[in-house]
Amino acid sequence: MFTTLLQAQAAPAGSNISMIVMMVVLFAIFYFFMIRPQNKKQKELMNFRNSLSIGQEVITVSGIYGTVKSIDENTGSIMLEISKGVQIKIAKEGVNPIATKK
């Protein structure tokens, strides 16, 4: 009697395979619609910040427009001229690629 109860509670073999397939499909959907685009955007942002050049007009993430005057690779900072004779030092991570002029 005990063995018949255990056999009755066991799930059919087909449901385990379909559950695994469904989990793989869900992971693929998350990867292609969430993870991959975010990684691509992050790579583009890093390439933009690494390709900053002197004289390039940029906008910071806080909304300050300026022109790159110097780049310090050791500290990862740049000097922006925001007005004639007014320069500020900011981190490269503070430059926003969306509203920049090429």
Q: What is the pLDDT of residues 38-83, one digit of tens each?
A: 999 999 999 999 999 999 999 999 999 999 999 998 998 999 999 9
> Per residue in 11-50, pLDDT tens?
555 678 889 999 999 999 989 999 999 999 999 999 999 9
pLDDT at 16: 86
Three-class HEC string of the chain: CHHHHHHHHCCCHHHHHHHHHHHHHHHHHHHHHHHHHHHHHHHHHHHHHHCCCCCCEEEECCCCEEEEEEEECCCCEEEEEEECCEEEEEEHHHEECCCCCC
- Is pTM beyond 0.85? Reply is no
